């Protein structure tokens, strides 16, 4: 990811670089989500959003920010879709 680029929204920080196939990861930091169940919930939410969207080849890591704690699922989905559209254009 040293060669990659960074994009940001109020909910996410995205590190990405072009690749052969789509691979994405979601990181829910322990400093933001204190309980393991919450961290896993937000990571699963991100993976389910990614699964429902057609993807272009790219490697990416979504890192949640503090504002994501109070965000709804729709706001998170809109943030993910916005960042993926920015990459693909």
pTM: 0.90
- pLDDT of 87 reads 86
Domain-wise residue ranges, the chain:
5-88
Question: Which residue(s) pair with 64 in the sheet?
Answer: 12
The dihedral through the CA atoms of 12, 16, 19, 23 has a sign that is negative
Asked: is 5-88 a CATH 3.90.1720.10 domain? The reply is no
pLDDT tens string 54-72:
888 889 999 999 999 999 9
pLDDT tens string 12-58:
999 999 889 999 999 999 999 999 999 999 999 999 999 998 888 88
Residues 89 and 66: their CA atoms lie apart, in Å, by 27
Non-local CB neighbours of 74 within 8 Å, separated by 6+ positions: none
Residues 46 and 63: their CA atoms lie apart, in Å, by 10
């Amino acid at each position: 990811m040293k060669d990659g680029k960074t994009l940001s929204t109020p909910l996410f920080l995205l590190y990405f670089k072009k690749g052969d196939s789509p691979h994405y990861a979601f990181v829910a930091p322990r400093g933001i989500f204190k309980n393991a169940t919450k961290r896993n919930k937000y990571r699963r939410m991100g993976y389910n959003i990614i699964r429902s969207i057609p993807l272009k080849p790219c490697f990416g890591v979504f890192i949640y920010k503090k504002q994501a704690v109070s965000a709804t699922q729709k706001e998170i989905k809109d943030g993910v879709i916005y960042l993926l559209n920015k990459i693909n254009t």
